Amino acid sequence: MRRFLLKSKIHRARITGTELHYEGSLSLDAGLMEAADLLPYEKIEVYNINNGVRFSTYVIPAPKYSGEVRLNGAAARLGAVGDIIIIASYGLFDQEELSGFKPTLVYVDEFNRIKEVKREILEELV
């Protein structure tokens, strides 16, 4: 059996901008992408803590260490500057891959600077 599990997340990032007239996606500080093991054009889920909206899009890099988290295209209608969001990426895993599996959890401050990165084994999966 294959299972979808959380691969990585960025917890409580703040939206820094919106650009309605753009093709789409979420522009994200390249340093945050690296920390969360996100590749350009990787599918992500976005959960807006302020308004409860949840949506899927893909991520594109913004300048490294800029703190940028910008909603582009139609997604620009789903959040406002200052809203707090969770950015999540999921992976499809075989049962054998679950032994020692460690999701990457990136915690940021109010300026989208990395405070902490955790990689913890979930004992139930081992």
Q: Which positions are catalytic? A: 25, 58
Q: State the Rg of the chain over Cα.
A: 15
Residue 67, both tokens: 């703190």
Residue 84 class from Cβ within 10 Å (0-12 exposed, 13-18 middle, 19+ buried)? middle
How far apart, in whole angstroms, are the C-alpha atoms of residue 113 and residue 32? 8
